[in-house]
Amino acid sequence: MKAGCVLAGVVLATCAQAQSAVAGAETREVVRVGVWAMTPYVTIGADGQPHGVLVDFFDREIAPRMGVRFQWERPMTVARLERSLITGRIMFTPMLARTRERLKARVQFADEPYIRLDPCIAVLPDSAITHVATPADLAGVTVGWVQAGALPAFMQDRRIRLDRVGSIDWTFANLEKLRLGRIGAAYFSNPYTPQFFSAKTGMELRIISLPTPRIPLYGAFSPQTPRTLAERYARAAGDAFAGDRFSTYMHRAVVESVLAAPARTDER
């Protein structure tokens, strides 16, 4: 009888702690967050909501340290995300390139970029493009990208023809154009995105690194967001990203993607 009472007490205590945690999360300050799709950082779920490594990391590691709850909006195009941030429809986005135009619009960028990307292009296996050393190697090639997406100076060379799509699922749109031969290459700010797409769909791609500096992405706040919130983010992000914690999340996502990839048949 005594043991049963002790067990019941433990169960009640555990339930009370869980309810307290839920209640605490519900009463936290809500921060409206906007994102754009970039696998595996941000993916679009079957429910239309954002998922992925970045969402998981920010919900688990950043929000509790800030004492807030992130309310994630459905993924947007980069152009709409930019407008929503400037007008204050959203308060924050976890990753955005710092550009002159965005600074002029008074977007508040964090001081430290914790995410840095390695630009690349994806081509079909039989493409004549085997390496890229200078913009001249892409002269006359139509390269797919996304509207309002920032580009390194290397890709802004006038000899490169850019074909920008405006869809939310821009990765699929560009790689479908590549498959159909409508573009000669697709630009990506990081190699993970085409690698994940290839693993998921079985579409064979050759990924070629570009000789450009790494692209820093910053947490960015609306001009209307209180500066104190940005300061809380700076402290929280400094702790959360320490010790390669984000790399651990990314590594797990890579492993899960490989394990979930469909087996490819030998067509020889």
pLDDT along the chain (268 residues), means of 10: 46 46 64 95 94 96 98 96 97 96 97 96 97 97 95 96 94 96 97 89 95 96 96 97 89 69 41
Whole-angstrom Cα distance, residue 182 to residue 47? 31
Domains of the chain and CATH, by start: 28-116+216-259 (3.40.190.10), 119-209 (3.40.190.10)
Q: How far apart are CA 222 and CA 87, in angstroms?
A: 7
C-beta separation of 68 from 28 below 8 A: yes
The predicted pLDDT at position 252 comes to 81
73-99 core/surface letters (b: 16 or more CB in 10 A; e: else): bebbbbebbbbbbbeebbbbbbbbbee
> Looking at residue 7, what is its pLDDT?
42
Bridge pairing between strands 108-109 and 185-188: unpaired
Report the alpha-carbon distance of residue 185 to residue 178 in Å, rounded. Answer: 6
CA–CA gap between residue 38 and residue 64 (Å, rounded)? 24
State the DSSP string of 179-226.
Answer: HTTSSSEEEESSSHHHHHHHHHH----EEEE-SSPPEEEEEEE-TTS-
Centre a 10 Å sphere on the Cβ of residue 230 and count the other Cβ atoms it contains: 19
Torsion of CA 254, 259, 265, 268, to 10 degrees: 50
Q: For position 26, what pLDDT does the model report? A: 60
Please answer whether residues 191 and 207 qualify as being in contact, where contact means their C-beta atoms are separated by less than 8 angstroms: yes
Cβ atoms of 192 and 173 within 8 Å: the answer is: no
Question: Which residues pair with residue 83 across a beta bridge?
Answer: none
Q: How far apart are CA 261 and CA 268, in angstroms?
A: 20
CA gap 36, 171 in Å, rounded: 11
Cα-trace Rg, the chain: 22
Nearest to 185 by CA among 169, 208, 168: 208
Asked if 121 and 205 count as a contact pair (C-beta separation under 8 A), the reply is: no
CA proximity to 126, closest of 183, 206, 192, 56: 206
Provide the pLDDT for residue 15: 47
Checking DSSP bridges between strand 115-117 and strand 108-109, what pairing results, if any? unpaired
